[in-house]
Homo-oligomer: A and B are copies of this chain.
Amino acid sequence: MTVKDVCEILKSKNNIEILTHASPDGDTLGCGYALCLALQSMGKNARVIVEKMPQKFKFLTKGVKEQDFQGEFVVSVDIAALSLLGSNAEKYAKIIDLCIDHHGSNSIEIKDKYVVADAAAACEIIYEIIIELGVKITKEIANCLYTGISTDTGCFRFSNTTAQTHRIAADLMEAGCDFEIINKNMFDTKSKARVELEKNLYDTMEYFADGKGAIMCISLDMLEKLNISGDEIEGIENIPRLIEGVLLGITMKEREKNSYKVSVRTNECINASEFCAKFGGGGHIAASGCKINGDYETVKSKLIKAAEEFI
């Protein structure tokens, strides 16, 4: 399929439902609301289907009209597999008509699939579609697309970022997107509970192997005491790796008494997957995990000993 084919289909349809993935992030929601705004501006009925809208993304709905209609055509955005539909699976898994995505691994089996694997964010594809549809990029559309692009690239830092990512960002800046507010809310704001959690985690931080390794632990006690939500733990396992000189960073997360989920993040030439394999786990070169049973001190000693040998 080409972008023109996608646009021909969209132009020919009405009463369109745009499906986002469960635990929605900035990219799937940015796609959803940008496309919805574009379709509504073409005089079509459209809505976005969201499992549960996180507070911090509510601004993306600005300008979207609530329309009363019976859905006739379903477009999925940024959904790599049907297993990611969450509670929407029952109603929508079998009636997706068009799939728009940027995951090379996309496993949704339907005829009309438009997957661009080198797009850093699915929002880059939606940008291309909106331009091809001849719809003006309004400030509201620009805010949606910028949010998807910025969150999926870690604000232009991750390796998926391309020259094209920056060129699209330039156009969105010219359309008046609120890049400063968006980035502040997406990247720079910490909840009070998160600050408290980090303080507690720093208290557990231990270095080993001449500072090339660092380990910290989130205990059940800590989570309970801080009454912390899943959102607020996001990215926490990156903390040890980002300390100067650390090549292998370990985060122990207590799951139940005497049972730990272990997240390993590495820099440069250290293979996290190989390390985790020693404990029956695995994953990617720079990000892997495993599960170890035992009390805190025993598990920690095992990990440090293995890591010292490994580094």
Contacts and interface: CB of A to CB of B under 8 A. Distances in A.
A228 to B, nearest CB: 13
A179 B153 CA distance: 12
Nearest to A202: B199
B170 A192 contact: no
Contacts of A203: 199
A244 B179 contact: no
Given A192-B243, A202-B195, A170 B173 contact: no
Interface stretch (A68-76, A108-116, A124-132, A157-165): A157-165
Interface stretch (A36-44, A93-101, A181-189, A288-296): A181-189
Interface of A: 155-159, 161-167, 169-171, 173-174, 179-180, 183-184, 187-192, 195-196, 198-199, 202-203, 205, 207, 211, 242-245
B179 A207 contact: no
A165 B157 CA distance: 15
A167 B195 CA distance: 36
Contacts of A173: 161-163, 166
Nearest to A184: B157
21 contacts: A155-B156, A156-B156, A156-B169, A156-B179, A157-B179, A157-B184, A163-B170, A163-B171, A163-B173, A165-B170, A166-B170, A167-B167, A189-B242, A189-B243, A190-B243, A191-B243, A196-B202, A198-B198, A198-B202, A199-B203, A202-B202
A180 B166 CA distance: 14
Contacts of A171: 163
Nearest to A203: B199
- CB-CB nearest 5 A-B residue pairs: A166-B170, A199-B202, A163-B170, A163-B173, A157-B183
Contacts of A202: 195-196, 198-199, 202
B190 A161 contact: no
A187 B156 contact: no
A243 B163 CA distance: 33
Given A166-B167, A173-B166, A202-B195, A242 B188 contact: yes
Contacts of A159: 180
Contacts of A155: 155-157
